[in-house]
Amino acid sequence: MFGTVLIANRGEIALRVARTCRELGIRTVAVHSTADRESAVVRFADESVHIGPPSAKASYLHMPSVMEAALRTGADAIHPGYGFLSEDPDFAEVCEAHGITFIGPPPHVIEKLGDKALARALMAEAGLPVLPGSVGAVTGLAEARKVADEIGYPLILKAVAGGGGRGIAVVRAGDQLTQAFRQTSAHARAVFGDDRLYVERFVEDARHIEVQVLCDRHGAAVHLGERDCSVQRRYQKLIEEAPAPNLPDTLRRQMCDAAVRGALAVGYVGAATFEFVLAPDGSFHLMEVNCRLQVEHPVTEMTTGIDLVREQLLIAAGLPLGFRQEDVTPRGWAIESRVNAEDPDQDFAPAPGLLTEFVPPGGPFVRVDSHAYPGWLVGPDYDSLLAKTVVWAPDRDQALARMDRALGEFRVEGRGLRTTIGFLRELLAHPAHRAGRHTTGFVAGMAAERAK
């Protein structure tokens, strides 16, 4: 097992990773930017290193600084969390070159799956259903139009290097294609440094269902069940739950089996998430594979009792999985709500500020993953995630009631600060959501209802 792990991340996930390390007796090193000098993980970790200015590019994304900190502190492994360097094959390779274990899949696997067009092709080869669309990236607008003529509208344009819901555009008719193509490719170039796009059929009224997979270095792979992440606003997840409501068992089994098959086909090692789009007719297709811990991983932890970060660490250390597929027995219902520092009345613009009060909910079966505390400055430099509120209950109704109770007691105050707590409670209480009949269009639809 590792002696020292450096956590190359910030916010709630850095703290969450550090907590499991502590439980395993592993020394932790937090790296931080100037803006995060007083952060919760810096206070919690055994050692911290100030690696750069607030700009992520010069701190959390700056490989030489992160590596320097790792070498200096004697870290034998780096946990990248999610975002930042977590899906950067170059970083994984640099770690390897310096004899430091990257906690994630091997660089060549990240590289293949990170190229969304290539991943699509590989997964189709492995027998996973992928949506009709372009074979790899399209060469330009002309080819995009040709593919569009074959598969029809609506379709979706996606950046090859995309992720996190960015670099995506839905095109409903042929006359919108030119503009959407140009905008999305310009956006992709700006955000990912890669303007290549691919084209897929867009599924209306779909659900977003993803499967958590764990693979060790010895060829074993298990799934930990699925999560429903259909409550999204502009492709950003707001509420996730496990299991997926109203999902027939046969379909669940097919999706989970497909994910395991896909993971084995590419020689995956570590924790992976296979994201599927489920159509109203019960057909499902793979969207993408994420080579990292997901934000919403706690719901899986709550239903399976398996600490995913612990498993990541054990797998990275070369240990075989300590359980077989038949040992994984999801139980009850878990829901996660992402409390963001955003203003729902200002189109969810980030609403940062200094926290004067922060009292997270407690009580039975409530877990709050957060880096916030009174006096913490929620700054403008990073994403707006403030706290993940997770609840568990024996069934969905009880879980929904518990989540509403928990969000109701959450007290967050700060000058200039706004949160999405009220909005989340509205979503949870909506009849479509209560019935578990919501699709990815749910939030936009509810906003439209409200506007009437």
Partner 1 sequence: MTTDLRDEAAKNGVVRRHATGVMRAAVAGPETADLAAMCHHVADLARTRPEPPSRIRLEHLGTALEIEWPSPVLETSASVSVPGVGPNAAESSSPRTDSLAANAADAAAAAGAAGAADDGLQRVCAPMIGTFYHSPEPGAPPFVAVGDSVVPGQRIGILEVMKMMSPVETQIAGIVREVLVPDGGAVEFQQPLIVVEPVGGR
Q: Of 263, 256, 293, 294, which is closest to residue 278 (Cα–Cα)?
A: 256
Output the smallest distance, CB 235 to partner 1, in A. Answer: 29
Query: Is 310 one of the catalytic residues?
Result: no
Stretch that binds partner 1, among 49-57, 123-131, 183-191, 306-314 (CB under 8 A): 49-57
Using CB under 8 A as the binding rule, whether residue 398 contacts partner 1 is answered as no
Is the bond into 154 cis (omega within 30 degrees of 0)?
A: yes
Shorter beta-carbon distance to partner 1: residue 54 or 332:
54
Shorter beta-carbon distance to partner 1: residue 57 or 324:
57
Catalytic choice (10, 233, 292, 367) = 292
Distance (Å, whole) CA 79 – CA 82: 9
Kindly tell me the burial class for residue 120, based on how many C-beta atoms sit within 10 Å of its own C-beta (0-12, 13-18, 19 or more). buried
CB 161 within 8 A of CB 192: yes
Output the smallest distance, CB 264 to partner 1, in A. Answer: 29
Contacts of 40 (CB under 8 A, 6+ apart): 15, 370, 371, 372, 373, 376
Furthest C-alpha separation in the chain: 59
The shares of helix, strand and coil residues in the chain, as percent rounded to the nearest 5, are 35, 30, 35
Stretch that binds partner 1, among 53-61, 351-359, 377-385, 392-400 (CB under 8 A): 53-61
CB 248 within 8 A of CB 436: no
Contact with partner 1 (CB under 8 A) among 46, 47, 53, 377: 53
Using CB under 8 A as the binding rule, whether residue 51 contacts partner 1 is answered as yes
Stretch that binds partner 1, among 64-72, 290-298, 339-347, 422-430 (CB under 8 A): 64-72
Looking at the DSSP bridge assignments, the partners of residue 211 are 226, 274
Q: Identify the residue whose tokens are 């398996």.
A: 306
Alpha-carbon Rg for the chain in angstroms:
21
Output the smallest distance, CB 32 to partner 1, in A. Answer: 9
Distance (Å, whole) CA 422 – CA 412: 11
Shorter beta-carbon distance to partner 1: residue 73 or 337:
73
Which residues, numbered 65-124, are part of the site for partner 1 (CB under 8 A)?
A: 65, 67-69, 72, 90, 93-94
Shorter beta-carbon distance to partner 1: residue 72 or 218:
72
Output the smallest distance, CB 156 to partner 1, in A. Answer: 31
Output the smallest distance, CB 57 to partner 1, in A. Answer: 8
Using CB under 8 A as the binding rule, whether residue 34 contacts partner 1 is answered as yes
Size of the site for partner 1 (CB under 8 A): 22
Active site residues: 292
**Binding site residues, partner 1, CB under 8 A:** 33-34, 49-53, 55, 57-59, 62-65, 67-69, 72, 90, 93-94
